[in-house]
Structure 1
Amino acid sequence: MIRSVKLVGSMCLFVFTLCVQAQEIQPKGNQPDSLMNQVTLSASDNDGFYNQYMNNIVPNSPTVSELMKYVDQPVDLFHGLPTIEIPIYTIECGELSLPITLSYHAGGIKVDQIATWVGLGWSLNAGGACTVNCIDDKHGNFESRLIDTMTEKEIEEYMENFGFSNPNQGMLLESWIDNQTIPDICSYNFLGYSGRFFLFNGKAHELYGSKQLIFTNIYPNFAHILSAKDLRGNRYEFGEGTQSTTYTIQHSCENILQHCWEYKSLTSLNIANSSKKGVRTYSLTKVVSPSGNDSICLLYNLQDATYKSVATGVMSAFSKDGPWGDLIIKRGHTTFSASENQTYTTEPTVSEIVASNGVRVVFSANEERRDLRTDEKGSEAKALSEIKIYAPSGNLLRRWVFEYDYFKSYIEHPTDTFSNLRLKLKSMKEYGSSQSTGPCVYLFSYYGEEMGEPQMPFRGSFSGHDYWGYCNGMTTDAKAISFYESFPGTQDMFNPVALVSKGGNLMANENFCKAYSLKSIRYPTGGTRVFRYQMQGEMQFVPYGGLRIHKVVSYSSQNDSTVCEYQYSGSYATEPPTFSRRRERDKAANPDNSNLQWEYIYDISSVPFSNLAAITGGGVNYSWVKEVSEDAIVEYYYNGDNNDPQYSGYRVLIGYDPTNLWAPYHTDYSDYYNEWHPDFCYNYICPDYKHGQLIRKIITTNDGFVIDEIYEYGYQKCDTIPIMQISYGAKEWRDNYTYYDLLVSDYITGKAYLKTKTTYSYRNLDDLVDPLITQKRTEESYTYNEYGLLQSVTAICRGDTVVKEIRYASDISANPYREMAAKRRIDYPVEVIKKVNGKVVEGDLLTYVNENGYFLREKIYELKPSIPLASFNSFSGIPSSIYGDPVGTVTSYTSCGKIAAMCGRDRINVVYLWGYNNQYPIAEIRNATYDEVTSKIPKSTIEAIAARLEPTSTDWSQINELRTSLLQAHVTIFAYKPSIGVSCICGPDERSIYFNYDDFGQLKEMYRMENGLKKIIENYEYHYPEN
């Protein structure tokens, strides 16, 4: 918890001053967006808005699936979603930090959604994971992990040898189908980083074009198959993966009800005529600082579960011979029009987090879940019961207790009681270090708990849900739906296909759509926050499923409340790649009936690069959102997805007739639906990185002040990746052809960056004809380096041009900066220069040194010229003489890279002693050199004191004796309550200030001891309501 404590001057250590000055050099550049942060509409917070909607249609394990929602459907106003998060604890370990939070995704609950181990809709964020959407070959081998795809040269060779220009060449496709022509997609969400990448030509390509992370060590047989580094040089390791596999058996609509209730064993599923797809999860197991001194390790338990769902429609080649396939919508009923899906999952749940400084967090899962079935050989699924946080000494700091109930189904499954229940988080209780203080309680309520509120049918029900899987309450029609009805709102870019309503009612229902969604949170302080939702807007004149936030009502008492309301423009979802065509069939059988000779096919590409927002119920966006509160009105305008459509590929259907020995292959497109171009069916979509950015923000206060911010972006295309999908199709038509479906997609990666921000501020008066006449105008422009870090900011205001330029380690060719960049320690600003009207007015320089492999801060310089400088040479390895003497110079380091001694511009030497496992400075000795201190306390003893969890009484005595052995020195001593705060400061005058904390770690009082009596300096009281 954050505390503000006013300390005596002796605590303002020069080492802290150095760190603070170093932090001030850090610019607020394009830092990775935290998944759970609210929309912060500043110049640097627009990175996470693009390319978020390529949903994974293969089920993850429940916990990972909920975590990856924040990748597919980010929490921000662009998507109409509020931030709902409860902080639990942040592990601080030297250069590293790992926050533990509980978050809720308010986009709506689907009928078939599986609750995580902390309840339906909730996600425990403690570390993170990478998931791999494994793409299978024609034999169904999808567990190949991150295997590289065909190279561009291989694809070009294929197209040349078999290509569309010579379709009759008798080359077998079998050998090419054995290749993995589509790469596995890796989605990641950990510690504030989220996104997707894939392998191509042996290189990991970020789908967003981001360079914040680099992924390496992708070796299937190693203990850590994946690791990543950020721009600070922190390393993230991911452990051996776990598998979630979905087996699919196809049935006709007539007999699906006879088979879908029975759970099958893995053995029988592997024997049955089923196809399978899988997702592997690689959990974050370790975070290591650049120096290697600090690390945080995460341990996991495994839980097994199996569950079922039913889907209607056809997967074109969903058989053992061809499990890839695109979704093909066919007119009318087909032989295979319903799918029975059973998922087996092994889910990792974090059991312990251990930091190298001794802090430990233990997660206990003791409550057996009644909503998940476990295979007879697996371990039972359990809900998280308790979190305990321990100090390095082993003492308990804090603990959280979780209490649950179950949502019940208003229509129950006839045989499977597990499907009737959904795990519900009722409350969280936070306890301090002892039981003397009552718990801080969070209480949760949900829609569907009170009489008359909407409820859901059992999971896996054939009806009762809308197109996208959200509850609609229409359970009276048990008729299976046609596949046309399964995917509304999609259209071919050239030839829209009308959708005909058939089968059960799948229209979205606003009342039932919010069933089991979070209604309110009652906080420990006594306040309550109520969430009121709306259904998403319409798409292609069809009401869209899922929820958006409408109002947030905050009650500080029963009658005192504030309301924040949100209004939206029309919604849109990124258009998925779609194709339409017609094929000839049964010509011989029906020579006189032309209507029976044609079949219209509507294809939705299911390649993992495709944007599947329209068919999975995620990724609804709004180009305008208005936030209305009691104090102000804020309008947000976002960039849409239809501004710059680009070519994204084509597809060709190749027929193979084994009876034709002379020309077995053919690509006869004379009957192609797009007859104007008989060879290919082209597709156009907007690249994902070109939409979702904030382009305008208008703030209007109640007293008439207006701030109008306009944002302009640049777009950089990074790579065009050719991806070829080959589907081996069984005979779907009554002719002699077996079909090979080739889809060639050029996936375009890139990035958006903020170029300019123009701000107008004025008073909105009724008699003011043109506000621009009296307004204040400020314009800022931004440039970035190759890593996306902010390189310069130029502001123009009232005729003056102010420029701030930042140089990083990667911008300097001299060592040690070149060595730092080689080790990916890039996001370390070295020099910041400020110019006004082209002349330098101030600057800061922080130099580094390579000390036994550690890159450590060495000197800080400040530039404050008496007159602006017309010319100035940027730092290239040697500081300019204009800087003068450094403000501070580090003269000695500890073996762990901590500052042991330094000297200021005033030539006063300062020595620092460390303790508590090298975490905290425990003594500042001013006006003494390091050699003078080590002559009194040997260096080996100083290192031993630093390494101990806590200094001993002997250690304190040795340090205190420096007051008499070094008479010229001024010694200040610090004691701590580890992981909580400073407990005592004893200044050079040997007067001490003491700090007391309550059981929750909150500062309770500051006091002195005078003549044996406690003299209070400050005290603090906190409201912990009785429960």
Structure 2
Amino acid sequence: MNNKTIILIIALLTCVGSVYSQGTSPALADTEGKYKYNYVPVSPVSEELMKHIMCPVNYNTGKVELSIPIYEIRTRDFTLPLRLQYDSGGIKVSAGNGVAGLGWNVDFGPTVTRSIQGNPDEEGYLIYNPDFGSWDTSYMHKMTEGMAHEQPDVFFYSTFDAQGNFVFRRPEKSSESGSHIPVYLPLTSDKVETSDIRSGFQVTDGSGNIYRFKEAEYSNTGKITGWKLTDVTSLKQDRLSFSYVTQKLTYADSYDYYAVEDMGESYRNGYWQGVDGKLKFFRMNGYALHNDSLWADFTVENVGQYDNRPYNSVDAKYPKEITYANGKVVFDYSSSLLKTVHIYENGAEIQRVTLNYKQLRFMGRSLLTEVKFTELVNNQSRSYTMSYNDYVDDYSPTQTKAVDKFGYYNGRTGNTDLVERQLVEFGMPYDGDRGVCYAYIGGADRTPDILFAQVYSLQSIKYPTGAREELVYELNTYPDTDEYGNAISSYAGGLRIYSIQCRDVEGTLKNERRFLYEKDGIPTGYAPQVTFVDEMEKLYLRTYSRTSMRYRLYSSLPVADAGAAAGVSVLYPNVSVVEKDDYGKTVSREDYEYNTNFYFPSIINGMVHDEVSHYKKGKLVRRTDYDVDTEQPVHDEEHTYTEISLNNNTPLVAGREVRRANLVVAEQSGVETDDDLYYREYRYSIGRGNTRVENQLTVNTDYYAGKLVSDTVVRTYGSTDWDIRSGLPVREIYKYSDGKKKKCDYTYPYHVNDAVGRAMTAANDILRPAHIGESVEGPEGYMDDSFTSFDYTLDPGSGSALLDEVSVWKHEGLFSMSESYPVHDAYGNVCEIRRADAPVVALLWGYNYSRPVAIVEGASYQEVVSGLCVSVESLQNLDGSALENVLLPLRNAFPAPCRVTVYRYAPQRGVVYMNEPNGNVTTYSYDGFGRLTEIRDKDGAVLEYNEYKK
């Protein structure tokens, strides 16, 4: 499976029958090779969200953010950019197609997904459990069998402007069973609500927009893994609606293992080999002395089959249609790949995007080779074309054993299984004392190889202009020490960008950006811990005796993974970006330093302890630009962060996992007793909830002729829970290099204790300012310099408020201004503007209340509506000459000194017609890509012409 976002824990289950009998037990063949496997697959779109939240893509990850814009949906209140996004971290052998082939996904907008920890929350964790945390043997046995659950699922979500994750608070009494109280990790201004996880979620962002996630995605085990956005509605009733089609996605998921048994009191040692679903036992039948060491000899017994789960699947929900005022976007798929995107405006298709692929031989895997944009207004087209490192013969993800330890192809076609070849020690009775002998297990060389690790990774992208970027990769590494304490570089999984070469239309190199992951010439990097070995005890039980064996599992997949499977292979705290020109001369250098105040999950006793500090990752601490001739800094940008939390509401979200400390083989039923039920328990914290990290201090420094000029911004955050939720500063102090200081104080709706403030807060409409005050430092302290007040009025339709008046006051009354908005329509649009020093202005709205179609200066809104020959409602369906014929007569009703301006639109592109008060007409033309092509006057003369290269 490609980048796994859930911690993988593999442990062999209890066996039935004796491995030492001369025959083969059918029950043993059915059970010995099974393993606990709490990975639940999610769709590529959901997985991309989880990865991006776990660790944002920037130089800190060794990746570059590469995207191709498809189209930008623009409505009155929303902007949704649809874009293809590429993951430059490498293609795993088990990887399936993204929405647009290997490595490519589409950002369709907001979504919700989750990492299921054992059983889904709705099946256990959110049901009141009076035995929670108990050490009772029977209860702990239930936990190992999946009949009791103490770990919360982790949910990931995104809105148009934010993303985050949360868990639910555990019910602590029976009356709280089934309650859904979110604990945010980190805290955001968003509000998440649900009455039943299975029915979906409602998220209200900090601007009061309501997102409903009601379309569920299911894994092949029937578990809900994600919820897709069905609609989003603004406070002003602007809306986007989404519909979906189901695409069944299948992923390769092979699993091989060896399990060594030794240290027995009366039986011989041996080991299990599970490869490709076939199970064998290698029984030790002697040993021989070679080079002063004893080496074991074995006889092979074919035991049977085991369930190695070569495939996993998920029923993914891909968008079929996004509809909005005056337009829609329609998506067509073939074989679960996005093939065509149709963009419609007012019922007419204005643009079409076609995606072409190169299909590989196995599992429908494909490489995106072209994205072609065809604008249907002027019948023009342009294309992006891609090439890949596909120089290796196509391999079967389910059959190849040429896989490095982190799941990337390594070209070792001679491998016979997926377990790294290694020397193991067997404890054995020897001349009355316990001795040791040795043997090799595993049939794989899992060493990474850069030539093969980059197979199917993007090699170059050619832009519509003809220019091309070529990507050069290297292996992710981090500084480490060997067993003797010597400094070495260890492989961390996947690829990082080494350089990006830019070439012109003729293919001539123009410049190259190189990425150096080091500080002062010394490599840097932090990698999460991963282990492929687990150890426990195995008991063979008989009616009157028992035998205890040491049992070691050597797996092809991590038995505990602290982050690499989630796409966080390594984090680089220091990265230098050096740009060279076509002659190889350095023309610029930028150094980036990232926050290291975070923790990767740790592995203790074979279990993963996750403090969920990922929201601290990827924070830029310092960025420095250099003069490449003097190698001295010319600009420095430095950031300091602070952690803020809700008052008396920062629960330490905790969980517990319990595993059998031993495996049990009972030769007769009923011989297992409570004395045999030993457990390995680990209690751990997931993180301190309802906490966030914000920028507290920013220092910008410029260097001129040996002198430095430094400006500082210090931010202070409020102490109320609403202050913490919004993450907005209540004060910013600007300190300038000339010694001057300016202070800005802010208040927000939750600071205003009146009906309007309370209504806005209740609607989660909390990000709009209420007051902004500026003051400057003088001889006697700070003096008021300016003040801006935003007054709102209650809006029964939205439950929040509408802007009613803006007042501005400048120093000592030298300037003051007040502008009011006394009239709004049912959709919250401003319909009238009044100022003491200017005529009243009325606005008429059309195109489903999304665009102003007439502005009348010198008349009130009510007067203008009375002067119309049709109702305002009828305006919404008019366009072209029909709209002009209704609006232009307003000039007769409101002659000079009144001024009437009339507009027409292509709603998704812009204004196409403007008739000014003096009768001058200007027309605007666009291509299907939304680009302005020409402007003409009333006589048709071209005032401006824009030509775009393909």
Normalising by structure 2, we get a TM-score of 0.77
**Quick one: structure 1 residues 509 and 907, their matched pair in 2 at CA, closer, same or farther if it must change by over 3 Å?**
same
Instruction: Indicate if the aligned counterparts of 1:455 and 1:515 stay in contact, CA closer than 8 A.
Output: no
The one-letter amino acid paired with 1:296 is L
Displacement, 1:515?
A: 0.5
- Structure 2: 5+ residue runs without aligned partners? 9-37, 171-178, 261-268, 278-307, 425-438, 481-488, 581-586, 667-671, 718-722
Give the letter aligned to residue 430 of structure 1: F
CA separation of 1:836/1:910 partners in 2, compared to 1, >3 Å: closer, same or farther?
same
The reply on whether 1:761 has 2:761 as its aligned counterpart is no
Q: Which of 764, 768, 775 pairs up with 1:828? A: 768
Give 1:364-379 correspondences, 5 Å limit: 364-365=332-333, 367=334
Q: 1:752 to 1:172 in 2, by over 3 A?
A: closer
- The DSSP-based 3-state class of the residue aligned with 1:979 is coil
Instruction: Look up the match of 2:653.
Output: 721
Distance 1:603 1:539 in 2: 25
Distance in 1, Cα, partners of 2:744 & 2:462: 45
- Residue type of the alignment partner of 2:716: T
SS in 1 for 2:101: coil
Q: Partners of 2:838 and 2:610 in 1: how far apart?
A: 67
Confirm whether residue 567 of structure 1 aligns to residue 542 of structure 2. no
Of 611, 627, 633, 2:577 maps to: 627
| 1:972 alignment counterpart | 901
Deviation at 1:518, TM superposition (A): 0.6
Pairing 1:403-422 to 2, within 5 Å after superposition? 403-408=356-361, 418-419=362-363, 422=365
Which of 959, 982, 985 is equivalent to 2:887? 959
Residue 702 and residue 107 in structure 1: after superposition, are their counterparts in 2 closer, same or farther (change >3 A)?
same
Q: Are 2:702 and 2:710, in contact at CA under 8 Å, matched by a contact in 1?
A: yes
Q: Superposition pairs for residues 392-431 of structure 1, below 5 Å? A: 393-408=346-361, 418-419=362-363, 422-431=365-374
8 A Cα contact 1:997 1:1003, kept in partner: yes
Q: Find the partner of 1:917 among 829, 841, 848.
A: 848
Name the aligned partner's letter for residue 848 of structure 1: Y
Alignment of 1:146-157 (within 5 A): 148-149=125-126
Distance 1:305 1:645 in 2: 30
TM-fit CA distance, 1:935: 3.2
Question: Residues 639 and 476 of structure 1: is their aligned pair in 2 closer, same or farther, counting only changes over 3 Å?
Answer: same
- The partner residue of 1:472 within 410, 413, 420 is 410
The match for 1:863 among 798, 804, 809 is 809
Residues 134, 277 of structure 1: 8 Å contact kept: no
Q: Is residue 712–residue 755 contact of structure 1 (8 Å, CA) maintained in 2?
A: yes
| Shift in Å, 1:587 | 11
1:900 partnered with 2:845: no
Mapping 1:112-127, distance limit 5 Å: 112-127=94-109
Change (3 A) 1:604 1:407: closer
Distance of 1:315 and 1:928 partners within structure 2? 86
- Measure, in 1, the Cα distance between the counterparts of 2:743 and 2:441: 60
Residue identity in the other structure for 2:810: K
- Structure 1 distance, partners of 2:540, 2:340, is 68
How do 1:425-440 residues align onto structure 2 when only pairs under 5 Å count? 425-434=368-377, 437-440=379-382
* Contact 2:368–2:386 under 8 Å retained in 1: yes
Residue 178 to residue 909, structure 1, CA distance change in 2 (3 Å): same
- Give 2:711's aligned residue: 778
Q: Are 1:546 and 2:497 counterparts?
A: no
Choose the corresponding residue for 1:986, options 892, 902, 915. Answer: 915
Are 1:242 and 2:217 counterparts? yes
Distance in 1 (alpha carbons) for counterparts of 2:353 and 2:400: 39
Tell me, what secondary structure is at the counterpart of 2:60? helix
What whole-Å deviation, never above 9, does each CA across 1:128-156 have from its counterpart, x for those lacking one?
4322333445xxxx5x65864467xx57x
Q: How many residue pairs were aligned? A: 803
> For residue 12 of structure 2, what is the aligned residue in structure 1?
none
Between 713-722 and 60-69, the greater mean CA deviation after superposition: 60-69
SS at match of 1:65: helix
Which residues of 2 match residues 8-27 of structure 1 at below 5 A?
none
What pairs up with 1:222-301 in 2 under 5 angstroms? 222=199, 225-245=200-220, 278=223, 280-291=225-236, 293-301=237-245
Q: Which amino acid aligns with 1:425?
A: L
Q: Aligned partners of 1:172, 1:533: CA distance in 2, in Å? A: 48
Quickly say closer, same or farther: Cα 1:617–1:899, change in 2 above 3 A.
closer
Residue identity opposite 1:789 in structure 2: L
For residues 958-1015 of structure 1, the C-alpha deviation after alignment (integer angstroms, 9 at most, x for no partner) is 4222212222411111122222221221112112122223344322222223xxx433
Q: Is 1:701 aligned to residue 630 of structure 2? A: no
* One-letter identity of the residue aligned with 1:890: Y
Determine helix, strand or coil for the equivalent of 2:412. coil
- Kindly indicate whether residue 53 of structure 2 is the aligned counterpart of residue 71 of structure 1: yes
Q: Secondary structure at the match of 1:990?
A: coil
CA distance in 1, matches of 2:226, 2:347: 32
How has the CA–CA distance of structure 1 residues 795 and 641 changed in structure 2, closer, same or farther, with 3 Å as cutoff? closer
Q: Secondary structure at the match of 2:812?
A: coil
- Unpaired runs of 5+ residues, structure 1, are 1-51, 246-275, 317-330, 368-380, 409-417, 487-498, 653-680, 766-770, 869-882
| TM-superposed deviation, 1:686 | 8.7
> How far has the Cα of 1:557 moved from its partner?
3.1
Matched, 1:354 2:323: yes
The residue number in structure 2 matching 1:813 is 753
Secondary structure of 1:620's counterpart equals coil
Secondary structure of the 1:1014 match is: coil
Q: Is the 8 A contact 2:419 2:554 kept in 1?
A: no
Task: Identify which of 876, 880, 883 aligns with 1:947.
Answer: 876
* Sequence identity (%): 22
Q: Residue 836 and residue 851 in structure 1: after superposition, are their counterparts in 2 closer, same or farther (change >3 A)?
A: same
* Superimposed CA distance per residue, residues 520-553 of structure 1 (whole angstroms, 9 cap, x where no aligned partner): 1111111111111111114655322211111111
Do 2:49 and 2:157's aligned partners in 1 also have CA atoms closer than 8 Å? no
TM-fit CA distance, 1:556: 2.6
Q: Does 1:186 align with 2:155?
A: yes
**Aligned position for 2:339:** 385
Structure holding more strand per residue = 2
Are residues 716 and 603 of structure 1, via their aligned partners in 2, closer, same or farther at CA, if it must alter by over 3 Å? farther
Distance 1:528 1:645 in 2: 37
Q: Distance in 1 between matches of 2:492 and 2:92?
A: 13
* Residue in structure 2 matching 1:853, options 790, 794, 797: 797
State the TM-score, normalizing by the size of structure 1. 0.71
- Tell me, yes or no, if structure 1 residue 1022 matches structure 2 residue 948: yes
1:472-495 deviation digits (Å, cap 9, x = unpaired): 111112144169899xxxxxxxxx
Secondary structure at the residue paired with 2:451? helix
